[in-house]
């Protein structure tokens, strides 16, 4: 039997709920689900799939309705996860960076369709990280819109084989298709946009994000670089056997993947977007408008010729920083976070005012996403096969 301490959750309710009070939330299908049902579902799935720790938020009527943490932040010490525990955000970083980029568009500092090299003080291929692109002038076509919609032609990361997704120590940056013509998820694209934004503003990403996003939204335990005050409460990642992994305390900000945050902070960010705050109506609409249709059979590996017609049923596409889909409950936007020991998912149904945020410090986290989404909010539309969220009980 699993250690019973693990299945004792840390309880946290939003300020308008008193400790221990039962909460009822509405699912997409209109059915009510109670906090007792939520806890029972999460704890059973975590136990079956060996998920070390999980933090959860459900938004109803565009407001945070229920936030809670379960399991351990450190499986070795048995220290319990709570809603103020700092977790590595992985590619949740990209959603925040996209929002920040669009704030700069609103301010007139960034043009989505101006080639990024025109913002730089020298040709792109004269920068050390981009010398490998010499001889392929297609880099002159790349814009902020392409970076945010993953249509640059870049691979995910140069150190990953573009066609297998495996680590490649000899990997070099290359453009695999004409920028703007198709979708291929790319952290490299976000890194290029970050270079341009830092040149435009003359400021680092960590400073910009603190001023324009984290401070205004009260995200006090969030940063693109490690902060000393995180030391008092942070989670460790765990592999498939629930063995502790090392903790990277990043000193360099990366818009594609260096975010440290808590479920409480990240939920404030999502709540802000759901309520239509920060971005004006035109910019928000543009962010959530399809820029490119997605025909690939899987999201990863990124450079693949495998296609499928299955995506048409949900009109799978990419906006500016977000994946997009359509359902019988209306439109939705979503973002994932994935790294060894860290697996997260967030989807937001605009017309229903319902969101769910799942953050785990476990390489087994994605194995329960399909059932969590279905049982807690009646989301049967997330393309779990495209995401490769293979359930724990399927081979």
Nearest CA among 103, 44, 106, 100 for reference residue 70 = 44
DSSP single-letter state for residue 313: G
User: Is the pLDDT score of 11 beyond 80?
Assistant: no
Mean of pLDDT values over 256-267? 98
pLDDT top residue among 2 and 328: 328
User: Is the pLDDT score of 20 beyond 80?
Assistant: no
Quick check: helix, strand or coil at residue 304?
Answer: coil
What integer pLDDT is reported at residue 2 of this predicted model? 43
Q: pLDDT-based confidence at 181, cuts 50/70/90?
A: very high
DSSP string computed for 202-214: SS-HHHHHIIIII
What integer pLDDT is reported at residue 163 of this predicted model? 87
What integer pLDDT is reported at residue 21 of this predicted model? 58
What integer pLDDT is reported at residue 317 of this predicted model? 98
**329-369 tens-digit pLDDT:** 999 999 999 999 999 999 999 999 999 999 999 999 999 99
Q: pLDDT-based confidence at 387, cuts 50/70/90?
A: very high
% of the chain surpassing 90 pLDDT: 92
Q: Scanning the structure block, which residue is given the tokens 């820029």?
A: 291
What integer pLDDT is reported at residue 22 of this predicted model? 86
**24-71 tens-digit pLDDT:** 999 999 999 999 999 999 999 999 999 999 999 999 999 999 999 999
What integer pLDDT is reported at residue 16 of this predicted model? 31
Q: How far apart are CA 80 and CA 181, in angstroms?
A: 47
Angle between helices 92-106 and 263-274 (to 10 degrees): 40
User: Is the pLDDT score of 13 beyond 80?
Assistant: no
DSSP strands (E only) in the chain: 24-26, 32-34, 53-60, 63-74, 79-80, 87-90, 259-261, 292-293, 317-318, 323-327, 330-339, 342-349, 354-360
How long is the chain?
395
DSSP string computed for 284-302: HHHHTS-SEE--BS-SSSS
**pTM score > 0.85 for this model?**
yes
Mean of pLDDT values over 183-204? 98
Mean of pLDDT values over 94-111? 98
Domains annotated on the chain, with CATH:
4-98+204-387 (3.40.710.10)
User: Is the pLDDT score of 3 beyond 50?
Assistant: no
Mean pLDDT of the chain: 94
What integer pLDDT is reported at residue 168 of this predicted model? 87
**236-251 tens-digit pLDDT:** 999 999 999 989 999 9
Tell me the helix, strand and coil percentages in the chain, rounded to 5.
30, 20, 45
User: Is the pLDDT score of 9 beyond 50?
Assistant: no
**115-166 tens-digit pLDDT:** 999 999 999 999 999 999 999 999 999 999 999 999 999 999 999 998 899 9
What integer pLDDT is reported at residue 5 of this predicted model? 42
């Amino acid at each position: 039997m699993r250690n019973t301490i693990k299945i004792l959750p840390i309880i946290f309710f939003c300020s308008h709920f008193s400790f221990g009070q039962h909460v009822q939330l509405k699912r997409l299908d209109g059915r009510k689900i109670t906090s007792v049902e939520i806890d029972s579902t999460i704890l059973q799935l975590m136990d079956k799939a060996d998920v070390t720790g999980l933090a959860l938020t459900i938004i109803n009527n565009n407001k945070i309705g229920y936030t809670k943490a379960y399991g351990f932040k450190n499986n070795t010490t048995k220290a319990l996860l709570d809603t103020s525990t700092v977790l590595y955000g992985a590619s949740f970083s990209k959603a925040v960076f996209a929002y920040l980029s669009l704030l700069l568009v609103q301010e007139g500092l960034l043009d989505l369709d101006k080639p990024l090299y025109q913002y730089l003080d020298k040709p792109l291929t004269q920068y050390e990280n981009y010398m490998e692109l010499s001889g392929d002038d297609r880099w002159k076509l790349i814009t902020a819109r392409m970076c945010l919609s993953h249509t640059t032609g870049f691979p995910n990361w140069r150190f990953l084989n573009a066609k297998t997704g495996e680590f490649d120590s000899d990997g070099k940056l290359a453009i695999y298709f004409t920028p703007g013509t198709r979708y291929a998820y790319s952290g490299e694209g976000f890194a290029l946009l970050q270079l341009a934004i830092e040149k435009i503003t003359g400021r680092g990403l960590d400073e910009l994000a603190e001023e324009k996003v984290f401070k205004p939204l009260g995200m006090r335990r969030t940063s693109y670089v490690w902060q000393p005050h995180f030391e008092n409460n942070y989670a460790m990642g765990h592999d498939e056997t629930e063995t502790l992994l090392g903790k990277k305390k990043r000193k360099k900000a990366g818009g594609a993947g260096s975010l440290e945050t808590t479920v409480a902070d990240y939920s404030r960010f999502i709540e802000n977007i759901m309520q239509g705050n920060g971005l004006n109506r035109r910019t928000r609409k543009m962010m959530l408008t399809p820029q490119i249709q997605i025909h690939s059979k899987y999201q990863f590996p990124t450079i693949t010729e495998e296609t499928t017609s299955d995506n048409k049923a949900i009109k799978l596409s990419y906006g500016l920083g977000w994946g997009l889909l359509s359902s019988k409950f209306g439109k939705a936007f979503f973002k994932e976070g994935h790294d060894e020991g860290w697996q997260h998912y967030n989807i937001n149904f605009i017309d229903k005012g319902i969101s769910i945020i799942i953050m785990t410090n476990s390489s087994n986290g994605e194995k329960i996403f399909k059932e969590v989404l279905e049982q807690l909010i009646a989301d049967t539309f997330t393309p779990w096969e495209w995401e490769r969220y293979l359930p724990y009980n399927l081979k």
